[in-house]
A and B are shown apart, each in its own frame.
Chain A
């Protein structure tokens, strides 16, 4: 299977998903 990071679009999409996860974590663990 191709590594998703080989695609620039997938890299940016994963970055946005990680941002949402991080925002939720900031709310939880502060």
Chain B
């Protein structure tokens, strides 16, 4: 029934998926579109990306990440398996908790990377905070490698998140 316990569980699953698409959609945009396209763009046109598109994409990317984590933790709590999942279902004898637990931990590591590695380094690389040319170059490379790390982790993370009905 509308607004009963199972509806709220569904409601947070919906918000979690919406947020997750916002986050991982932008992550894949950065890795599959923006980063590989940058060398093909003439230097005088690059500011369109670095000054306009990338800061806007980073806004929806990082807040999508935070929203995915918050709605995901609420969803796991409402579903009654937050503790089982966070301890990877060890000793529970249930594949479902182990699978969703791996997904949760991968997602938490990825969200940490977004807020505490990618975002501070992108602020330097894009000139949103003061940095020398050398620091900018180094920060850009660090942000790129952690963005790639998250793209790599998103593959097992989504397997874990979507396989629980199979398990």
Would A30 and B95 count as touching, CB distance under 8 A? yes
Give bound CA distance, A2 to B35, whole Å.
17
Chain A at the B interface: SS class:
helix
Contacts between the two chains (Cβ within 8 Å), count: 63
**Contact across chains for B95 and A26 when beta carbons are under 8 A apart:** yes
Chain A positions within 8 Å of B, measured between CB atoms, are 3, 5-6, 8, 11-12, 14-16, 18-19, 21-23, 25-27, 29-30
**Contact across chains for B160 and A18 when beta carbons are under 8 A apart:** no
B91 → chain A closest CB, angstroms: 9
A15→B98 contact, CB < 8 A: no
Q: How far is the CB of A22 from chain B (nearest CB, A)?
A: 5
With a cutoff of 8 Å between Cβ atoms, the chain B residues found around residue A22 in the complex are 102, 156, 159-160
- Minimum-distance CB pairs A-B, first 6: A15-B155, A5-B148, A19-B156, A15-B152, A30-B98, A22-B156
Q: Which partner residue on chain B sits nearest A21 by CB separation?
A: B156
- List of A residues within 8 angstroms of B148 by Cβ: 5-6, 8, 11
**Cβ contact of B88, chosen from A11, A21, A23, A29, cutoff 8 A:** A29
Contact (A18, B155) CB under 8 Å given A26-B98, A30-B93: yes
Q: Which of B49-104 contact A (CB under 8 A)?
A: 88-90, 92-95, 97-99, 102
